[in-house]
Chain A
Amino acid sequence: EPEVTQTPSHQVTQMGQEVILRCVPISNHLYFYWYRQILGQKVEFLVSFYNNEISEKSEIFDDQFSVERPDGSNFTLKIRSTKLEDSAMYFCASRRSGGVGEELFFGEGSRLTVL
């Protein structure tokens, strides 16, 4: 069964460094998302991406964040200059269409630790 895959599973970085988290969505999916979960808190929406552009973003997704689909398969989240509070589990998700009730498929997550 096709799955969303994410790399790396865990990354440790120093404050101020750039980080790129990578995702390979399910191949025939058209909508892509990033969510994050700070330890002990709820899963929060960051950004959605459709038709090669951002379709929606949250207030968390400020100028330090960017997303890209550099080729036909990868979907990346870049944090330009990491802060301590960026430490979280980052989940990539995709769905086949934007239809009502359409299932969202999640990756296993990338744990980011900022020191």
Chain B
Amino acid sequence: AQRVTQPEKLLSVFKGAPVELKCNYSYSGSPELFWYVQYSRQRLQLLLRHISRESIKGFTADLNKGETSFHLKKPFAQEEDSAMYYCALSRVTSGSRLTFGEGTQLTVNP
């Protein structure tokens, strides 16, 4: 079975502070990991995926297979980063479903 855990439901930081949103997963095979974001009154959208090893809007995430984690980090948070963040996992199989974590509501205060 595949499972994703985001231990923090709410996270509040000040503008300019570093931010880390935690994500742990359990899966017996090699997973694909993603971060999706939902800004207020907008649809869920992809933020980044581990396979691309990219930085989007200053966010990065490194897959740590030893710790089964995929934490999302940004060195200097901005007010516009306030949103709901979901970590998600899928199997490396064509068209495979996404399994989501519970989500973390990030608030960046001025």
Residues of A within 8 A of B92 (CB): 100
Q: A35-B100, A48-B95 are in contact. List 11 more A-B contacts (CB 8 A).
A: A31-B95, A33-B97, A42-B86, A42-B102, A48-B97, A100-B32, A100-B51, A105-B45, A106-B45, A108-B42, A109-B43
Interface hub of A41, A91, A101, A105 (most chain B Cβ within 10 A): A101
User: How many Å lie between the Cα of A29 and that of B101 in the bound state?
Assistant: 25
Q: How many cross-chain pairs have Cβ atoms below 8 Å apart between A and B? A: 57
Instruction: Give the shortest distance, in Å, between B102 (CB) and chain A (any CB).
Output: 5
Number of chain A residues whose Cβ lies closer than 8 Å to a Cβ of chain B: 29
Tell me the A residues contacting B by CB distance below 8 Å: 3-4, 31, 33, 35, 41-45, 48, 50, 55-56, 58, 91, 95, 97-101, 103-109
